[in-house]
Amino acid sequence: MRKKLVVGNWKMHGNRSANAALLAGLKEAGPWNADVAVCVPFPYIAETALALTGQAIAFGAQDCSAQEQGAFTGEVSSAMLADLGCRYVIVGHSERRAYHHESDQLVADKAKAALAHGVTPIVCVGETLAEREAGQTELVVKRQLAAVIHTLTHCIGEIVLAYEPVWAIGTGLTASPEQAQAVHAVLRKQLQAATQKADAMRILYGGSVKPDNAAQLFACADIDGGLIGGAALKAADFSVICRAAS
Ligand code: 13P
């Protein structure tokens, strides 16, 4: 039985006082019988680490560089994230693939850099609406995952995978549990062909997960938790989702 994992992706939201209130709300609402983490903007990682000292809630970042170190202005290395105590880093989020033109290979290289420093990459894959409508969902997510499998080889079992259909992100349109489960099963099969650890790996669903649809999604055989955007910004909503995973 895989323990569920619920991760809040704060994206580019928050400020010091709002973050403090949100984290205080989560501390009060927990603990849950699920692994829980928040992935916060870079400037707030250190303060989040402090606020979560001694708590069962893990924290992480939303991106990292594929480079080890050097003259890469504006980039943040996975060594730095490890230095701050980050447990997770999201890589390949569709917003980065779309707005920063991140390729499948760059995403895979970022995942590799994270693992090299003991930070667990949460690798996002997902199709756009046009791709779904063209019947290319499987093709797209398998291509995205294949780059990661090829690059990480025997370490692939160490990642967390997240299926986030682009058309469901921030739109209020959620994939139905059947739609999500179908893609998760495809991804699990691809992982099974690559590693013996596939059945122990967690595949999260992300895209308009809310307090009222989380339980149904998490009940699916291959959905091992969620990557939560908007609903992670409200302690009350996020805790209901964490409870649904418990
Ligand atoms: P929403 O939950 O706001 O749709 O965002 C999902 C997401 O992109 C999490 O990474």
Amino acid at 203: I
Q: In the prediction, which pLDDT does 172 show?
A: 81
> Could you give the CA distance from residue 241 to residue 209 in angstroms, rounded to a whole number?
8
Output the ligand 1 site: residues, CB below 6 A. Answer: 9, 93, 164, 169-170, 206-209, 227-231
- The alpha carbon of 71 and the centre of ligand 1 are apart by a number of angstroms equal to 32
Q: What is the DSSP letter of 231?
A: G
- Span 76-86, average pLDDT: 98
Q: Based on the structure, what is the number of domains in the chain?
A: 1
CATH code of residue 43: 3.20.20.70
Cβ-based neighbours of 241, under 8 Å, separated by 6 or more: 6, 209, 210, 211, 214, 226, 228, 231, 232
- The alpha carbon of 116 and the centre of ligand 1 are apart by a number of angstroms equal to 27
The position carrying tokens 């809040």 is: 8
Test site for ligand 1: of 39, 208, 234, most ligand atoms within 8 A of the Cβ = 208
Band of residue 234 on the pLDDT scale cut at 50, 70, 90:
very high
Using CA atoms, how far residue 207 sits from 27, 162, 194, 222, in Å, is 24, 10, 26, 16
Residues assigned a catalytic role: 93, 164
- Span 14-31, average pLDDT: 97
pLDDT tens-digit profile of 163-221? 999 999 988 888 899 999 999 999 999 999 999 999 999 999 999 999 999 999 999 99
> Could you give the CA distance from residue 205 to residue 189 in angstroms, rounded to a whole number?
16
pLDDT tens-digit profile of 153-165? 999 999 999 999 9
Strands (E), the chain: 5-9, 35-39, 57-61, 88-91, 120-125, 160-163, 203-206, 225-228
Alpha carbon 59 to its chain's center: 11
Closest CA to 128 of 79, 86, 95, 91: 95
Ligand 1 atom closest to Cα of residue 93: 10
> Could you give the CA distance from residue 200 to residue 2 in angstroms, rounded to a whole number?
6
Ligand 1 atom closest to Cα of residue 11: 10
Find the domain containing 76 and state its range: 5-245
Q: In the prediction, which pLDDT does 1 show?
A: 77
Q: In the prediction, which pLDDT does 125 show?
A: 98
Ligand 1 atom closest to Cα of residue 210: 2
Q: In the prediction, which pLDDT does 5 show?
A: 98
On whether the CB atoms of residues 232 and 220 are closer than 8 A, the answer is no
